[in-house]
């Protein structure tokens, strides 16, 4: 009975994380996505603080929402790295965060950030079996990034 339970646990764990590329390569891709989320969190928190004028009325809450979303994405990606036996990065991607009080520049920087995030998750998805839980998790994040890209583009229209 114990052995059976252990088997089903391992079976479930393997199904969760099935992937087509080597473990280290997948962990590396996930760590790049994690570092990008950590940067996004800071970018949005910064913009939420400095957005000014009438735009502040809406965009402060908007940027704070994006910061929270990045935090949630980072948590999911970190959990995946941990399940794969990898060590999650604790430092953000080093790409500079531009300081500005111009809300259009903020939105342009946000758009660039979301586009690059979406590209990263598209890359991760290519390395995963599409019937794994990890694929589902990464696909959900990927779709969220695409929604953000569309939203930023509409805000910049
Ligand atoms: Fe994200």
Architecture of domain 2-156: Up-down Bundle (1.20)
Going from the Cα of 132 to the center of ligand 1, the distance in angstroms, rounded, reads 20
Beta-carbon-side half-sphere exposure of residue 150 (alpha carbons within 13 Å): 6
Can you give the pLDDT at residue 4? 59
What is the C-alpha separation between 32 and 86, in angstroms, rounded?
13
| Two structure tokens written together for 110 | 């946000």
Instruction: Report the pLDDT value the prediction gives residue 12, as an integer from 0 to 100.
Output: 64
pLDDT in tens, 98-140: 999 999 999 999 999 999 999 999 999 999 988 888 999 999 9
Q: What pLDDT is attached to residue 11?
A: 67
Phi, psi of 22, rounded to the nearest 5 degrees: -55, 150
Residue 13, pLDDT above cutoff 80: no
Arithmetic mean of pLDDT over the chain: 92
- pLDDT tens-digit series, residues 64-100: 999 999 999 999 999 999 999 999 999 999 999 999 9
Q: Break the chain into its structural domains and give their ranges.
A: 2-156
* Closest alpha carbon to 155 in 116, 118, 119, 111: 111
Ligand 1: distance of its center to the CA of 43 in Å? Answer: 12
Of 110, 104, 141, nearest to 29 by C-alpha is 141
| Predicted pLDDT at 2 | 57
CA-CA-CA-CA dihedral for 57, 60, 64, 66, to nearest 10: 90
CA 8/CA 73 separation, integer angstroms: 28
CB 101 within 8 A of CB 146: no
User: Which band of pLDDT confidence, cut at 50, 70 and 90, is reported for residue 19?
Assistant: confident
Phi-psi region of 18 (alpha: psi -120 to 50; beta: other; left: phi over 0): beta
pLDDT given for residue 130 in this prediction: 85
> CA-to-CA distance for 65 and 139, rounded, in angstroms?
20
Please give all residues whose CB falls under 5 A of ion ligand 1, grouped by chain where several chains appear.
Answer: 70, 73, 117
C-alpha 112 to ligand 1 mean position (Å): 12
Ligand 1 centroid distance, CA of 25 (Å): 20
For residue 2, how far is its CA from the centre of ligand 1 (angstroms)? Answer: 40
Q: Judge whether residue 1 has pLDDT over 60.
A: no
CA 122 / ligand 1 centre spacing (Å)? 12
Ligand 1 centre from 37 Cα, in Å?
6
């Amino acid at each position: 009975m114990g052995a059976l339970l252990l088997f089903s646990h391992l079976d479930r764990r393997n199904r969760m994380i099935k992937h087509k590329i080597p473990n280290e390569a997948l962990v590396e891709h996930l760590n790049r996505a994690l570092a990008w989320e950590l940067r996004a969190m800071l970018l949005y928190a910064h913009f939420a603080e400095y957005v000014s004028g009438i735009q502040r009325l809406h965009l402060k809450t908007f940027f704070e929402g994006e910061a929270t979303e990045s935090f949630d994405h980072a948590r999911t990606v970190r959990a995946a790295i941990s399940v794969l036996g990898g060590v999650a990065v604790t430092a953000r991607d080093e790409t500079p965060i531009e300081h500005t009080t111009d809300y259009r520049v903020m939105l342009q920087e946000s758009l660039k950030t979301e586009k690059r995030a979406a590209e990263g998750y598209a890359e991760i998805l290519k390395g995963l079996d599409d019937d794994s839980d990890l694929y589902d998790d990464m696909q959900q994040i990927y779709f969220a990034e695409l929604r953000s890209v569309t939203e930023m583009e509409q805000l910049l229209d």
